[in-house]
Amino acid sequence: MDIDIRPLDIPERLGTPEAADFEAFVELTADVQESVWGHRRFAQEAAELLPEFRDDRYTGRQAFAAWKDERCIGRAEVLWERGEEARTAEISVGVAVDERGRGLGAELLARAEAHARSLGRDIVAGYSDVALANLDAPGPRLEAPDGTGSIPAGAVGASFALRHGYRLAQLERVSGLSVTGRLEEFRTLLSARLAAQGADSAAYRLTGWVDRAPEELLDTLAVAHASMATDPPFGAVIVDEEVWDAARVRAGEARALEAGRTTLVQAAIAPDGSVAAYTELSLPSNSTAAFQWDTIVLGPHRGHGLGMLLKLANLVHLGETTPDRTDIYTWNADENDHMLAINIALGFTLRGMSAEWQRD
C-alpha cells in the first residue's frame, strides 16, 4: 500500500497550518462515527479534543494517522492511565469507509499495539459500536459475559476484533432520553421523590454546581471519582485503578472549560460533609445534546435512593439553565440492573450497544 502511517503531531492551537493534520484526523474520526450511528452527535470537534491531547498528566495519549495523497484515511489512538500499577492500554482504530477491506485497519492496530507494548502494558482493550438499526442483523450472535444483551458477530467492529484475537469482555447499552418540554414533569417527580423518601434521604444534603466544584468538596469528590474506575460493574474487563486528588479534579474541570463544554453536577453530601454520591451532565458547545457521564453512589451510602434523586435534580437543573438541550445520551453496563432501572424509569430508550474487547 502506498500509504504513510505516522504519529500525529499535536498543535498548539487550531486554525493554523500546523493544525491541519490534527483537524483532518478529527474529521476522519467523525466520519467513522457517522458510518456507525448515522449521525455525528457522538463525535467530538477539534476544539473539544485538543485540550485532551495537550494535557496528558494523568492519561497518556498517542495517535497515529494514515495518509494517502494528502488525505487522512485511517486513524488509531492509544490511551493509558499513568498510575504506577496500571497494566492496560485502550486502543481505537478507524478507517474511511471507501478504504476498508484492504488491510489498513490491521496495520493501524499493529502500530497501536506496538506502542502499548513499548509502555509495558500487557493488556490491550478497545470498543466497537452497533447502532439500534443494525442490532438485530441476522447471523451468529455474541452474548454479553454478564447481562442479557448480545450483538451480531458479523458487525464491522466485532468481526475485526475477533479476527485479531480479542475477546468480548462487556456490553454496554447506549441509551437516549428526550428532555424537550419535560422540565415541569421532572420538577414534579423530584418533589414527589423527596417527599416519599422523607427521613431516608433527609440525612443527605443535595447540592449542585456548574463547571467547578466547591473547594471544600474537592478531596472527597476525588475519592468518588477514583471509585468510578473500580466500583461499577465491569463484566470480564480488567481495569486499572485511577489515582485521584483535588488537583486532578481541577485539571479535568479546566480541560472541559477549555474545550467549550459546560458541566452540570449534582452531589449528595453526607452528614460528615463528604461527597456520598454525584452525577454529572456534559454539555458540548454547538450541540443540542447532553451526555450523562459519571453517576456513582459510594458503597456505604447505597440504599437511600440517592441515584434517582441526583439524576432528577440534574435534569431539573438542565431544563432551568439550558432549555435548548433536546436529548441526553448515556452508556451503562448491560449487567448494571440498578442504574438501568433508574434510566428506564426516567424514559431512556435503547439506541444501540457498545462492546468492550480485551486481549492479554
Using 50, 70 and 90 to split pLDDT, how confident is the model at 201?
Answer: low
What is the reported pLDDT for 199?
64
Once rounded to an integer, what is the mean pLDDT over residues 37-65?
97
Sign, CA dihedral 149-136-39-93, equals: positive
Higher pLDDT, 232 or 38: 38
In this prediction, residue 84 carries a pLDDT of 86
SS3 label, residue 244: coil
- Binned at pLDDT 50, 70 and 90, residue 234 comes out as confident
| Cα distances (Å, whole numbers) of residue 51 to 43, 167, 174, 252 | 15, 32, 25, 10
Q: Running DSSP on this structure, what letter comes out for residue 158?
A: H
Task: Give percent above pLDDT 70 in the chain.
Answer: 99
Give residue-wise pLDDT tens across range 94-104.
Answer: 999 999 999 99
Q: State the pLDDT confidence band at 349, using cuts at 50, 70 and 90.
A: very high
The neighbour count for residue 42, using CB atoms within 10 Å, is 19
Burial of 40 (0-12, 13-18, 19+ CB in 10 A): middle
Residue 214 is predicted with a pLDDT of 98
Q: According to the model, what pLDDT value does residue 10 have?
A: 98
Name 218's Cβ contacts closer than 8 Å, sequence gap at least 6: 246, 249, 250
Tell me the pLDDT tens digit for each residue of 8-30. Answer: 999 999 999 999 999 999 999 99
The three-class DSSP label of residue 231 is coil
Report pLDDT for 294: 95
Cα angle for residues 229, 31, 77 (degrees, 5° grid): 40
Contact indicator for 290, 327 with CB cutoff of 8 Å:
yes
Higher-confidence residue: 196 or 292?
292
Q: How many angstroms separate the CA atoms of 59 and 322, rounded?
A: 30
Strand-strand pairing, 205-210 and 167-178 = unpaired
Q: What percent of the chain is predicted at pLDDT more than 90?
A: 91
Q: Confidence class of residue 202 from pLDDT cuts 50, 70 and 90? A: confident
Q: Whose grid coordinates read 440498578?
A: 338
Bridge partners, residue 296, by sequence: 278
Position 245 pLDDT exceeds 80: yes
| Residue 198: pLDDT over 80 | no
- pLDDT of 200 strictly over 80: no
For 148-184, give one letter per residue: b (16+ CB within 10 A) or e: ebbbbeebbbbebbeebebebbbbbbbbbbebeebee
pLDDT over 80 at 32, yes or no: yes
Residue 313 burial (CB count, 10 A)? 23
pLDDT, residue 53, reads 97
pLDDT exceeds 70 at position 59: yes
pTM, two decimals, is: 0.94
Residues 6+ apart with CB under 8 A from 18: 9, 11, 12
